[in-house]
Amino acid sequence: MTRPLRTALAALLALAPAGAAPAADGEALYVQNCALCHTVDGRGFPPGIPALKGSANLADPFTLVANTHAGGAYMPPFPALGAEEIAAIATYVRGAWGNGLGPVTTEEVAALMATTADAAAPAPRTIWDGVYSRDQAARGQQVARGACGLCHGSRLNGVPDDNDMKPGPPLARAYFLRVWDGRTLGAAFTYSKWTMPQANPGFLPDEDYAAVVAYMLSLTGAPPGAEPLPADARALGYITIGPKP
């Protein structure tokens, strides 16, 4: 679509009566919450992270709402998103990239959320609550040295694009806190699992990806606690990344 046409359409939509489509900005919410894994163009990182462009699982909004609200096998839940926000995201995803599916209302989403609520959901925590163990971080250091260090540096400081190692961003400290602010450890775990190492994503066991996340937290200065991080995107979706309180 050309830009003037798109602008004209947006102006028309702004005049449309409220009530049909949710008021929240679905595209902005998608970019903020979903694009890390499913990418802005909806292609994802298949096979681990499926494409939402052309997905047959969107026709019935159930999967979309259930995954977003309570998580999937590897998709982390988004407990902070309410029915109106999920409806806006669902409406955007169903209409984007030529998917051609109609809007979903806040009422429909609220009803689906009630049936998919996770009764076993843990209480929300942050990375500053002692969420990983010292042993797990030590194990993560070993894993990272072998599988991640070539591109992210042996202390996960990142590798610049100007030497003979492969370039990758830092995975710890201030940089990590800034880039990952507001996301959860579920996102860090699943993104690592299904996109890293780049040449061979998913080749490590889940426990090793969780251990690297623990190592990232220890380098960032988050305190260890008694229990290791669970190697489970659903449980990790309740632990938020953010600045030190």
Which is nearer to ligand HEC, 9 or 234 (by Cβ)?
234
CA distance 232 to 188: 11
Which is nearer to ligand HEC, 193 or 224 (by Cβ)?
193
**Ranges within 199-228 binding ligand HEC (CB under 6 A):** 199, 212
Pick from 113, 151, 210, 231 the residue near ligand HEC by CB under 6 A.
Answer: 151
Residue 69 contacts residue 77 (beta carbons within 8 Å): yes
Say whether residue 64 binds ligand HEC (CB under 6 A): yes
- Report which residue's Cβ sits closest to ligand HEC: 72
Q: How many residues bind ligand HEC (CB under 6 A)?
A: 46
Residues 6+ apart with CB under 8 A from 193: 48, 74, 201, 202, 204, 206, 209
Give CA separation, 114 vs 1, 25, 84, 118, in Å: 38, 23, 14, 9
Pick from 69, 70, 78, 224 the residue near ligand HEC by CB under 6 A.
Answer: 78
CA dihedral 210, 216, 220, 222 (to 10 degrees): 20
Residue 5 contacts residue 159 (beta carbons within 8 Å): no
167: how many CB neighbours lie within 10 A of its CB? 12
CA distance 234 to 118: 10
Say whether residue 37 binds ligand HEC (CB under 6 A): yes
Which of the stretches 3-11, 70-78, 117-125, 224-232 binds ligand HEC when contact is defined by CB under 6 A? Answer: 70-78
Say whether residue 34 binds ligand HEC (CB under 6 A): yes
Q: Which residues form the interface with ligand HEC (CB under 6 A)?
A: 33-34, 36-38, 48-50, 52, 55, 57, 63-64, 67-68, 72-76, 78, 89, 93, 147-148, 150-152, 166-169, 171, 179, 187-188, 190-192, 194-199, 212
